[in-house]
Amino acid sequence: MGIFDGRRIVLGVTGGIAAYKAVEVCRRLVDAGAHVSPILTKGAERFIGKATFDALASEKVQTSLWDEDNPIPHTNLGQNADLILVCPATARLLSDYRIGRSADLLTATLLATRAPVIICPAMHTEMWEQPSVQENIRELAGRGVEIVGPEKGRLAGGDDGTGRLSDPGSIVAAVEKVLNSGVGAQVQDFFGLQVLVTAGGTKEPICPVRYIGNRSSGKQGHAIALEAAARGAEVTCVTTQPDNIFHHPQIKVVAVETANEMAEAVFSESPKSDFIVMAAAVADFTPAERHKEKIKKSKEGLEIHLVPTVDILASLGATRNDEQILVGFAAETSDLEKNAKNKLESKGIDLIVANDISAANVGFDYDTNAAVLFDHMGKKTELPLADKREIAQAVLDAALKLKVDKHEESGGN
Ligand SMILES: Cc1cc2nc3c(=O)[nH]c(=O)nc-3n(C[C@H](O)[C@H](O)[C@H](O)COP(=O)(O)O)c2cc1C
Protein backbone atom coordinates (compact mmCIF):
# COMPACT_ATOMS: atom_id res chain seq x y z
CA MET A 1 0.00 0.00 0.00
CA GLY A 2 1.35 3.43 -0.93
CA ILE A 3 0.26 6.79 0.47
CA PHE A 4 -0.96 7.83 -2.98
CA ASP A 5 -2.79 4.61 -3.88
CA GLY A 6 -5.51 5.30 -6.43
CA ARG A 7 -4.65 8.99 -6.77
CA ARG A 8 -4.30 10.33 -10.32
CA ILE A 9 -1.58 12.92 -10.75
CA VAL A 10 -0.78 14.81 -13.95
CA LEU A 11 2.92 15.65 -13.90
CA GLY A 12 3.69 18.62 -16.16
CA VAL A 13 7.36 19.11 -17.03
CA THR A 14 8.56 22.33 -18.68
CA GLY A 15 11.81 23.37 -20.34
CA GLY A 16 14.16 24.31 -17.53
CA ILE A 17 17.53 22.94 -16.63
CA ALA A 18 15.96 21.24 -13.58
CA ALA A 19 13.72 19.06 -15.80
CA TYR A 20 15.93 16.04 -15.06
CA LYS A 21 14.84 16.22 -11.39
CA ALA A 22 11.22 15.62 -12.45
CA VAL A 23 12.30 12.06 -13.23
CA GLU A 24 13.02 11.44 -9.55
CA VAL A 25 9.74 13.09 -8.53
CA CYS A 26 7.87 10.90 -11.03
CA ARG A 27 9.53 7.75 -9.70
CA ARG A 28 8.70 8.64 -6.08
CA LEU A 29 5.04 9.35 -6.89
CA VAL A 30 4.68 6.06 -8.75
CA ASP A 31 6.44 4.16 -5.94
CA ALA A 32 3.94 5.69 -3.49
CA GLY A 33 1.04 4.27 -5.52
CA ALA A 34 0.02 7.27 -7.67
CA HIS A 35 -1.13 6.91 -11.26
CA VAL A 36 1.13 9.45 -12.96
CA SER A 37 0.26 10.90 -16.38
CA PRO A 38 3.23 12.89 -17.69
CA ILE A 39 2.96 15.89 -20.00
CA LEU A 40 6.15 17.32 -21.50
CA THR A 41 6.30 20.71 -23.19
CA LYS A 42 8.34 21.15 -26.35
CA GLY A 43 10.85 22.99 -24.16
CA ALA A 44 11.07 20.07 -21.74
CA GLU A 45 11.85 17.67 -24.58
CA ARG A 46 15.02 19.63 -25.25
CA PHE A 47 16.23 18.81 -21.75
CA ILE A 48 14.92 15.32 -21.10
CA GLY A 49 13.86 12.39 -23.28
CA LYS A 50 10.30 11.12 -23.51
CA ALA A 51 11.56 7.56 -23.20
CA THR A 52 12.59 8.11 -19.58
CA PHE A 53 9.08 9.14 -18.50
CA ASP A 54 7.48 6.50 -20.76
CA ALA A 55 9.41 3.91 -18.78
CA LEU A 56 8.86 5.32 -15.30
CA ALA A 57 5.36 6.84 -15.31
CA SER A 58 2.03 4.99 -15.29
CA GLU A 59 1.24 5.84 -18.90
CA LYS A 60 3.00 7.18 -21.98
CA VAL A 61 4.08 10.77 -22.15
CA GLN A 62 1.72 13.17 -23.91
CA THR A 63 3.12 16.25 -25.59
CA SER A 64 0.48 17.56 -27.94
CA LEU A 65 -3.14 18.66 -28.10
CA TRP A 66 -3.28 17.10 -31.55
CA ASP A 67 -2.74 13.45 -30.76
CA GLU A 68 -4.70 11.10 -33.05
CA ASP A 69 -5.20 8.45 -30.32
CA ASN A 70 -6.70 10.91 -27.86
CA PRO A 71 -8.97 13.48 -29.52
CA ILE A 72 -9.42 15.75 -26.46
CA PRO A 73 -6.42 15.01 -24.27
CA HIS A 74 -6.54 18.17 -22.13
CA THR A 75 -10.09 17.63 -20.84
CA ASN A 76 -9.49 13.91 -20.25
CA LEU A 77 -6.35 14.66 -18.28
CA GLY A 78 -7.73 17.72 -16.48
CA GLN A 79 -11.08 16.24 -15.48
CA ASN A 80 -9.67 12.92 -14.26
CA ALA A 81 -6.81 14.38 -12.22
CA ASP A 82 -6.81 14.48 -8.43
CA LEU A 83 -3.91 16.89 -8.66
CA ILE A 84 -1.72 18.59 -11.25
CA LEU A 85 1.94 19.06 -10.41
CA VAL A 86 4.13 21.26 -12.62
CA CYS A 87 7.76 20.46 -11.93
CA PRO A 88 9.82 22.36 -12.88
CA ALA A 89 7.73 25.37 -13.96
CA THR A 90 9.37 27.87 -16.30
CA ALA A 91 8.73 31.61 -16.26
CA ARG A 92 6.84 31.06 -19.52
CA LEU A 93 4.47 28.55 -17.93
CA LEU A 94 3.71 30.89 -15.00
CA SER A 95 2.84 33.68 -17.40
CA ASP A 96 0.62 31.64 -19.71
CA TYR A 97 -1.17 29.93 -16.83
CA ARG A 98 -1.81 33.25 -15.13
CA ILE A 99 -3.40 34.85 -18.19
CA GLY A 100 -5.29 31.72 -19.23
CA ARG A 101 -3.43 31.25 -22.51
CA SER A 102 -3.79 27.60 -23.49
CA ALA A 103 -0.95 27.48 -25.99
CA ASP A 104 0.02 23.85 -25.43
CA LEU A 105 -1.25 20.63 -23.89
CA LEU A 106 0.00 21.47 -20.38
CA THR A 107 -1.59 24.93 -20.14
CA ALA A 108 -4.80 23.63 -21.76
CA THR A 109 -4.92 20.86 -19.12
CA LEU A 110 -4.32 23.37 -16.33
CA LEU A 111 -7.29 25.37 -17.61
CA ALA A 112 -9.47 22.27 -18.00
CA THR A 113 -9.24 21.12 -14.40
CA ARG A 114 -10.86 21.80 -11.06
CA ALA A 115 -8.21 19.73 -9.28
CA PRO A 116 -5.69 21.40 -6.97
CA VAL A 117 -2.50 22.55 -8.68
CA ILE A 118 1.05 22.61 -7.34
CA ILE A 119 3.65 24.65 -9.17
CA CYS A 120 7.38 24.27 -8.53
CA PRO A 121 9.15 27.20 -10.20
CA ALA A 122 12.83 26.97 -11.11
CA MET A 123 14.91 29.54 -12.94
CA HIS A 124 17.89 31.83 -12.61
CA THR A 125 17.72 34.41 -9.82
CA GLU A 126 17.44 37.33 -12.24
CA MET A 127 14.42 35.73 -13.90
CA TRP A 128 12.83 34.79 -10.57
CA GLU A 129 13.20 38.33 -9.21
CA GLN A 130 11.62 40.01 -12.24
CA PRO A 131 8.56 41.97 -11.10
CA SER A 132 6.53 40.30 -13.86
CA VAL A 133 7.44 36.81 -12.61
CA GLN A 134 6.77 37.80 -9.00
CA GLU A 135 3.39 39.24 -9.97
CA ASN A 136 2.48 36.03 -11.76
CA ILE A 137 3.44 33.99 -8.72
CA ARG A 138 1.47 36.19 -6.32
CA GLU A 139 -1.56 36.08 -8.57
CA LEU A 140 -1.47 32.31 -8.93
CA ALA A 141 -0.95 31.83 -5.19
CA GLY A 142 -3.90 34.12 -4.63
CA ARG A 143 -6.08 31.87 -6.73
CA GLY A 144 -5.25 28.94 -4.48
CA VAL A 145 -2.38 27.43 -6.49
CA GLU A 146 0.16 25.88 -4.12
CA ILE A 147 3.64 27.22 -4.87
CA VAL A 148 6.58 25.08 -3.76
CA GLY A 149 9.99 26.77 -3.80
CA PRO A 150 12.19 27.81 -5.38
CA GLU A 151 15.08 27.48 -2.97
CA LYS A 152 18.41 29.18 -2.62
CA GLY A 153 21.41 27.20 -3.80
CA ARG A 154 23.53 26.22 -6.77
CA LEU A 155 22.13 27.05 -10.19
CA ALA A 156 23.18 26.16 -13.71
CA GLY A 157 26.32 27.80 -15.11
CA GLY A 158 28.08 27.86 -11.73
CA ASP A 159 25.76 30.54 -10.31
CA ASP A 160 24.38 30.63 -6.82
CA GLY A 161 21.12 32.23 -5.65
CA THR A 162 17.36 31.83 -5.33
CA GLY A 163 15.75 29.90 -8.15
CA ARG A 164 16.77 26.31 -7.53
CA LEU A 165 14.00 23.72 -7.79
CA SER A 166 12.89 22.41 -4.38
CA ASP A 167 14.26 19.00 -3.61
CA PRO A 168 12.12 16.02 -4.70
CA GLY A 169 11.38 15.10 -1.05
CA SER A 170 9.81 18.51 -0.35
CA ILE A 171 7.82 18.34 -3.59
CA VAL A 172 6.41 14.91 -2.76
CA ALA A 173 5.63 16.14 0.78
CA ALA A 174 3.66 19.06 -0.73
CA VAL A 175 1.73 16.60 -2.91
CA GLU A 176 0.87 14.59 0.18
CA LYS A 177 -0.19 17.71 2.10
CA VAL A 178 -2.48 18.91 -0.68
CA LEU A 179 -4.00 15.51 -1.43
CA ASN A 180 -4.53 14.61 2.21
CA SER A 181 -5.39 17.89 3.88
CA GLY A 182 -7.40 19.44 1.12
CA VAL A 183 -5.39 22.70 1.40
CA GLY A 184 -5.82 24.34 -1.97
CA ALA A 185 -8.22 21.58 -2.99
CA GLN A 186 -10.84 24.19 -3.77
CA VAL A 187 -13.84 22.36 -2.35
CA GLN A 188 -16.69 24.60 -3.49
CA ASP A 189 -18.60 24.54 -0.19
CA PHE A 190 -19.05 28.36 -0.21
CA PHE A 191 -20.46 28.41 -3.74
CA GLY A 192 -23.39 30.83 -3.98
CA LEU A 193 -22.58 32.47 -0.62
CA GLN A 194 -21.60 36.09 -0.04
CA VAL A 195 -18.73 36.71 2.35
CA LEU A 196 -17.76 40.13 3.66
CA VAL A 197 -14.28 40.34 5.20
CA THR A 198 -12.54 43.33 6.76
CA ALA A 199 -8.75 43.46 6.94
CA GLY A 200 -5.89 45.68 8.07
CA GLY A 201 -5.46 48.40 10.64
CA THR A 202 -7.33 51.70 10.31
CA LYS A 203 -5.49 55.03 10.22
CA GLU A 204 -7.02 57.95 12.09
CA PRO A 205 -5.68 61.26 10.77
CA ILE A 206 -4.33 63.88 13.12
CA CYS A 207 -3.23 66.22 10.35
CA PRO A 208 -2.42 65.74 6.63
CA VAL A 209 0.86 64.03 7.61
CA ARG A 210 0.31 62.12 10.83
CA TYR A 211 -2.15 59.50 11.90
CA ILE A 212 -2.88 57.12 14.74
CA GLY A 213 -2.56 53.58 13.47
CA ASN A 214 -1.91 50.05 14.65
CA ARG A 215 0.30 47.16 13.64
CA SER A 216 -2.24 45.03 11.77
CA SER A 217 -0.91 43.91 8.35
CA GLY A 218 -4.20 42.65 6.96
CA LYS A 219 -2.66 39.24 6.20
CA GLN A 220 -5.14 37.16 8.20
CA GLY A 221 -8.16 38.96 6.74
CA HIS A 222 -6.78 38.66 3.22
CA ALA A 223 -6.13 34.94 3.79
CA ILE A 224 -9.78 34.52 4.79
CA ALA A 225 -10.95 36.43 1.72
CA LEU A 226 -8.81 34.23 -0.52
CA GLU A 227 -9.82 31.00 1.13
CA ALA A 228 -13.51 31.92 0.84
CA ALA A 229 -13.08 32.85 -2.83
CA ALA A 230 -11.15 29.64 -3.53
CA ARG A 231 -14.08 27.74 -1.99
CA GLY A 232 -16.56 29.40 -4.34
CA ALA A 233 -17.81 32.44 -2.37
CA GLU A 234 -18.40 35.90 -3.81
CA VAL A 235 -16.22 37.97 -1.51
CA THR A 236 -16.07 41.66 -0.64
CA CYS A 237 -12.90 42.60 1.19
CA VAL A 238 -12.93 45.98 2.90
CA THR A 239 -9.27 46.61 3.55
CA THR A 240 -6.80 49.29 4.53
CA GLN A 241 -4.11 47.36 2.61
CA PRO A 242 -5.59 47.14 -0.93
CA ASP A 243 -2.14 46.86 -2.55
CA ASN A 244 -1.33 43.73 -0.59
CA ILE A 245 -4.32 41.58 -1.47
CA PHE A 246 -4.02 39.09 -4.30
CA HIS A 247 -6.25 39.82 -7.24
CA HIS A 248 -8.92 37.17 -7.48
CA PRO A 249 -11.88 37.36 -9.85
CA GLN A 250 -14.29 36.60 -6.99
CA ILE A 251 -12.92 39.21 -4.61
CA LYS A 252 -14.20 42.77 -4.80
CA VAL A 253 -11.73 45.01 -2.99
CA VAL A 254 -13.03 48.11 -1.21
CA ALA A 255 -10.17 50.36 -0.08
CA VAL A 256 -10.67 52.36 3.13
CA GLU A 257 -8.46 54.16 5.61
CA THR A 258 -10.34 55.26 8.68
CA ALA A 259 -12.68 53.50 11.10
CA ASN A 260 -15.54 55.67 9.84
CA GLU A 261 -14.87 54.75 6.21
CA MET A 262 -14.68 51.10 7.20
CA ALA A 263 -17.98 51.35 9.06
CA GLU A 264 -19.66 52.99 6.06
CA ALA A 265 -18.38 50.33 3.65
CA VAL A 266 -19.32 47.48 5.98
CA PHE A 267 -22.83 48.80 6.64
CA SER A 268 -23.44 49.23 2.94
CA GLU A 269 -22.22 45.69 2.07
CA SER A 270 -23.45 43.75 5.11
CA PRO A 271 -27.18 43.39 4.32
CA LYS A 272 -26.47 41.07 1.36
CA SER A 273 -23.76 39.03 3.15
CA ASP A 274 -24.19 35.49 4.44
CA PHE A 275 -20.98 35.75 6.47
CA ILE A 276 -19.36 38.84 7.95
CA VAL A 277 -15.81 38.29 9.14
CA MET A 278 -14.41 41.29 11.00
CA ALA A 279 -10.68 40.60 10.92
CA ALA A 280 -9.63 44.27 10.70
CA ALA A 281 -8.04 46.07 13.63
CA VAL A 282 -10.38 49.04 13.85
CA ALA A 283 -9.36 52.02 15.97
CA ASP A 284 -11.46 52.45 19.10
CA PHE A 285 -10.71 56.19 19.19
CA THR A 286 -10.15 58.86 16.60
CA PRO A 287 -8.93 62.47 16.98
CA ALA A 288 -11.88 64.78 17.61
CA GLU A 289 -10.38 67.29 15.24
CA ARG A 290 -8.34 66.84 12.07
CA HIS A 291 -5.91 69.72 11.58
CA LYS A 292 -6.01 71.12 8.05
CA GLU A 293 -2.31 72.01 8.07
CA LYS A 294 0.68 69.99 9.23
CA ILE A 295 1.14 70.47 12.99
CA LYS A 296 4.47 72.24 13.48
CA LYS A 297 7.13 71.13 15.92
CA SER A 298 6.96 73.09 19.18
CA LYS A 299 8.61 73.09 22.57
CA GLU A 300 5.25 72.67 24.27
CA GLY A 301 3.61 69.27 24.30
CA LEU A 302 0.66 68.43 22.11
CA GLU A 303 -2.68 67.27 23.38
CA ILE A 304 -4.92 65.36 21.05
CA HIS A 305 -8.48 64.84 22.17
CA LEU A 306 -9.78 61.42 21.11
CA VAL A 307 -13.40 60.43 20.70
CA PRO A 308 -14.79 56.90 20.35
CA THR A 309 -15.34 55.48 16.87
CA VAL A 310 -18.44 53.56 15.79
CA ASP A 311 -18.41 50.03 17.25
CA ILE A 312 -18.92 48.22 13.95
CA LEU A 313 -19.06 44.75 15.44
CA ALA A 314 -21.61 45.68 18.11
CA SER A 315 -23.79 47.49 15.54
CA LEU A 316 -23.73 44.47 13.28
CA GLY A 317 -24.46 42.19 16.24
CA ALA A 318 -27.55 44.27 17.03
CA THR A 319 -28.86 44.68 13.49
CA ARG A 320 -27.88 41.60 11.46
CA ASN A 321 -30.49 39.07 10.47
CA ASP A 322 -30.78 35.62 12.06
CA GLU A 323 -29.40 33.74 9.07
CA GLN A 324 -26.16 35.74 8.94
CA ILE A 325 -23.00 34.50 10.63
CA LEU A 326 -20.95 37.18 12.32
CA VAL A 327 -17.32 36.41 13.10
CA GLY A 328 -15.19 38.69 15.27
CA PHE A 329 -11.52 38.75 16.16
CA ALA A 330 -9.95 39.42 19.54
CA ALA A 331 -6.23 40.20 19.69
CA GLU A 332 -5.33 39.97 23.35
CA THR A 333 -2.19 40.23 25.43
CA SER A 334 -3.72 38.74 28.61
CA ASP A 335 -6.79 36.81 29.87
CA LEU A 336 -7.44 35.52 26.35
CA GLU A 337 -10.40 33.28 27.13
CA LYS A 338 -12.17 35.69 29.49
CA ASN A 339 -11.77 38.69 27.18
CA ALA A 340 -12.77 36.74 24.08
CA LYS A 341 -15.90 35.31 25.70
CA ASN A 342 -16.88 38.76 27.00
CA LYS A 343 -16.60 40.17 23.50
CA LEU A 344 -18.57 37.23 22.05
CA GLU A 345 -21.46 37.82 24.43
CA SER A 346 -21.45 41.61 24.70
CA LYS A 347 -21.40 42.13 20.93
CA GLY A 348 -23.84 39.39 19.97
CA ILE A 349 -21.54 37.55 17.60
CA ASP A 350 -21.52 33.88 16.57
CA LEU A 351 -17.84 33.05 16.51
CA ILE A 352 -14.76 34.74 17.89
CA VAL A 353 -11.19 34.10 16.76
CA ALA A 354 -8.96 34.93 19.71
CA ASN A 355 -5.22 35.20 19.50
CA ASP A 356 -2.61 35.90 22.08
CA ILE A 357 -0.48 38.42 20.21
CA SER A 358 2.23 38.29 22.87
CA ALA A 359 3.10 34.69 21.81
CA ALA A 360 5.95 33.97 19.36
CA ASN A 361 5.12 34.08 15.60
CA VAL A 362 1.49 34.99 16.28
CA GLY A 363 -0.57 37.91 15.07
CA PHE A 364 0.47 41.15 13.39
CA ASP A 365 2.63 40.89 10.29
CA TYR A 366 3.59 37.23 10.74
CA ASP A 367 2.64 34.71 8.05
CA THR A 368 1.67 32.34 10.82
CA ASN A 369 -0.94 32.54 13.53
CA ALA A 370 -2.34 30.51 16.40
CA ALA A 371 -5.83 31.05 17.71
CA VAL A 372 -8.65 29.73 19.83
CA LEU A 373 -12.18 29.74 18.44
CA PHE A 374 -15.15 30.23 20.75
CA ASP A 375 -18.64 29.96 19.35
CA HIS A 376 -22.00 31.09 20.70
CA MET A 377 -22.90 27.46 21.49
CA GLY A 378 -19.99 27.28 23.97
CA LYS A 379 -17.67 25.26 21.75
CA LYS A 380 -13.95 25.94 22.04
CA THR A 381 -11.47 24.91 19.31
CA GLU A 382 -7.72 25.37 19.62
CA LEU A 383 -5.85 26.12 16.39
CA PRO A 384 -2.12 25.54 16.88
CA LEU A 385 0.52 27.65 15.10
CA ALA A 386 -0.04 27.36 11.35
CA ASP A 387 0.10 29.33 8.13
CA LYS A 388 -2.56 32.08 8.09
CA ARG A 389 -4.23 30.37 5.12
CA GLU A 390 -4.69 27.21 7.21
CA ILE A 391 -6.12 29.29 10.08
CA ALA A 392 -8.46 30.88 7.52
CA GLN A 393 -9.57 27.43 6.43
CA ALA A 394 -10.41 26.41 10.02
CA VAL A 395 -12.26 29.69 10.70
CA LEU A 396 -14.40 29.23 7.58
CA ASP A 397 -15.05 25.56 8.43
CA ALA A 398 -16.33 26.62 11.87
CA ALA A 399 -18.40 29.50 10.45
CA LEU A 400 -19.97 27.27 7.80
CA LYS A 401 -20.87 24.65 10.42
CA LEU A 402 -22.62 27.34 12.50
CA LYS A 403 -24.56 28.46 9.43
CA VAL A 404 -25.69 24.92 8.64
CA ASP A 405 -26.71 24.37 12.29
CA LYS A 406 -28.66 27.66 12.37
CA HIS A 407 -30.41 26.78 9.15
CA GLU A 408 -31.43 23.37 10.49
CA GLU A 409 -32.60 24.85 13.81
CA SER A 410 -34.82 27.31 11.96
CA GLY A 411 -36.42 24.37 10.13
CA GLY A 412 -34.75 25.06 6.79
CA ASN A 413 -33.96 22.25 4.38
C1 LIG B 1 20.02 25.99 -21.30
C2 LIG B 1 18.72 26.64 -20.95
C3 LIG B 1 18.24 26.58 -19.67
C4 LIG B 1 17.05 27.17 -19.34
N5 LIG B 1 16.59 27.08 -18.05
C6 LIG B 1 15.44 27.69 -17.71
C7 LIG B 1 14.97 27.60 -16.38
O8 LIG B 1 15.59 27.00 -15.50
N9 LIG B 1 13.81 28.23 -16.08
C10 LIG B 1 13.09 28.91 -17.02
O11 LIG B 1 12.04 29.47 -16.66
N12 LIG B 1 13.50 28.98 -18.29
C13 LIG B 1 14.66 28.38 -18.66
N14 LIG B 1 15.09 28.47 -19.95
C15 LIG B 1 14.25 29.15 -20.95
C16 LIG B 1 13.13 28.23 -21.42
O17 LIG B 1 13.64 27.01 -21.89
C18 LIG B 1 12.30 28.92 -22.50
O19 LIG B 1 11.63 30.02 -21.93
C20 LIG B 1 11.31 28.00 -23.14
O21 LIG B 1 10.55 28.73 -24.08
C22 LIG B 1 10.38 27.38 -22.12
O23 LIG B 1 9.50 26.52 -22.76
P24 LIG B 1 8.34 25.75 -22.00
O25 LIG B 1 7.90 26.60 -20.88
O26 LIG B 1 7.29 25.54 -23.02
O27 LIG B 1 8.90 24.45 -21.54
C28 LIG B 1 16.30 27.85 -20.32
C29 LIG B 1 16.77 27.90 -21.63
C30 LIG B 1 17.97 27.31 -21.95
C31 LIG B 1 18.47 27.37 -23.37
CATH number assigned to the domain comprising residue 22:
3.40.50.1950
Name the residue with the closest Cα to ligand 1, atom 23: 43
User: What pLDDT score was predicted for residue 50?
Assistant: 93
Contact status, residue 308 vs residue 284, Cβ threshold 8 Å: yes
Top mutation candidate among 39, 45, 90 for ligand 1, by most atoms within 8 Å of CB? 90
Same-domain pairing of 79 and 212: no
The pLDDT of residue 249: 63
Query: Does 76 participate in catalysis according to the annotation?
Result: no
**Domain's final residue, options 152, 181, 210:** 181
Whether 388 contacts 219, CB under 8 Å: yes
The secondary structure of residue 146, as a DSSP letter, is E
- Residue 35 makes CB contacts below 8 A (sequence gap 6+) with 6, 7, 8, 9, 58, 59
* Residue 188 belongs to a domain: no
Residues 318 and 365 in one domain: yes
Whole-number pLDDT of residue 3: 73
pTM: 0.59
Beta carbons of 222 and 280 less than 8 angstroms apart? no
* Burial class, 230, CB count within 10 angstroms (exposed 0-12 / middle 13-18 / buried 19+): buried
pLDDT at 269: 97
The confidence score (pLDDT) of residue 248 equals: 65
Q: Are residues 23 and 154 in the same domain?
A: yes
Give pLDDT < 70 ranges for the chain. 1-2, 68, 181-187, 246-249, 362-363, 411-413
In a domain, 276, yes or no: yes
Residues 287 and 161 grouped into a single domain = no
Q: How far apart are the first and last CA of the chain?
A: 41
The pLDDT of residue 79: 86
Give the model's pLDDT for residue 184: 43
* Whether residue 360 sits in one domain with residue 246: yes
Verify that 277 and 301 share a domain, yes or no.
yes
The finding on whether 92 has its CB within 6 A of some atom of ligand 1 is yes
Q: Using a 6 Å cutoff on CB, does residue 107 contact ligand 1? A: no
Q: What is the pLDDT of residue 200?
A: 96
pLDDT for the residue 185: 46
> How much is the pLDDT for 319?
93
Q: Is the CB of 90 under 6 A from ligand 1?
A: yes
The domain total for the chain is 2
